Amino acid sequence: MRWKGRPKSSNIEDRRSMRPSATGGMGGGLRLLPLLFRFLGFKGTLLLIAGVLAYGIFTGSLGSMLYALGLGGNPPTTVTTTALNESPEEKQLVEFVSVVLADTEQTWSTIFEENGQRYQEPRLVLYRGVVRSACGTAQSAVGPFYCPGDQQIYLDLNFFDELANRFAAPGDFAQAYVIAHEVGHHIQTLMGISAEVHAARSRLSTVEANKLSVKQELQADCFAGIWANHANDKRQLLETGDIEEGLRAASAIGDDTLQKQSQGHVSPDSFTHGSSQQRMQWFTTGFETGDITRCNTFEEF
């Protein structure tokens, strides 16, 4: 990819030196409710909980406050900051991620403007090992992910080593494809697709819900292809062999390929992201057409 010297995004948040961990001081929530009922009564307790909910939603601290009351939610966390030992290679990789994110911003801003809308850019959070998001605490083993709750992408740069070594999909465009795919999930959130899928999944059987998840993931692949189309046609960002790198990555993380590696056989009903062939097909559709209307993976559902 011809990425060096190009504009960088201002939407990168670096948490690589931060280590969140749950604290143990507020785990007595289950014991707190009986005391509230005793001293405040049923009505008073309900009013208090209503106030807590309203305040938590407004301030973004709902998860910790629910946990404190024993009503679920996330335990509060402490964050330990350590020195960031960054190699020259990692520093360059951070710059690369920033350039790719900026290019996706340019692509989707143009597409949204053409459709009379304003594109709301996502933030991309870099972390190491473990990270806290509006979707909960996640380990790097889950891979890159997008959280609709805070409209942020979470990426541990070590995943790119895994992509090259474990999945045999090296190359800068393979890495760019991963980022563009997660941005694709952000597009789905802005378009209301993610909310519709979430609501529909709750009414379906596990098998049918999995099929719906596959369609959502394949659409994100198609959106990644649309970005590649614009990056190539309008800004000549791609070089010979880049698309092949992207297709290799899409194939390597197909459900059938991963299941064969992990369990020796394929169980299509448990697919959540799509087969290797499907992922390559929908990325190619986006890349060849550059047309968002061609990414309707839900048409047959």
Nearest of 168, 123, 121, 170 to residue 147 by alpha carbon = 123
pTM for this prediction: 0.80
Helical pair 206-235 and 88-114, crossing angle rounded to 10 deg: 90
pLDDT of the residue at 206: 93
Residue 36 has pLDDT above 60, yes or no: no
Query: What are the pLDDT digits (tens) for 97-127?
Result: 999 999 999 999 999 999 999 999 999 999 9
pLDDT of the residue at 246: 96
Query: What are the pLDDT digits (tens) for 205-246?
Result: 999 999 999 999 999 999 999 999 999 999 999 999 999 999
d(CA 62, CA 72): 10
Residue 20 has pLDDT above 80, yes or no: no
d(CA 37, CA 47): 11
pLDDT of the residue at 30: 42
By percentage, how much of the chain surpasses pLDDT 90? Answer: 69
Q: How confident is the model at residue 26 (pLDDT cuts 50, 70, 90)?
A: very low
When the pLDDT of each residue in the chain is averaged and rounded to a whole number, the result is: 85
Average pLDDT over residues 51-60: 46
Nearest of 272, 155, 142 to residue 218 by alpha carbon = 272
Poorest-pLDDT segment among 60-69, 76-85, 96-105: 60-69
Helix H or strand E segment including 130: strand 130-133
Average pLDDT over residues 125-154: 94
pLDDT of the residue at 84: 77
Average pLDDT over residues 77-102: 87
Q: Tell me the backbone φ, ψ of residue 231, rounded to 5 degrees.
A: -60, -35
Poorest-pLDDT segment among 12-21, 88-97, 100-109, 176-185: 12-21
266 exposed, middle or buried (CB, 10 Å; 0-12, 13-18, 19+)? middle
| Cβ–Cβ < 8 Å for 253, 178 | no
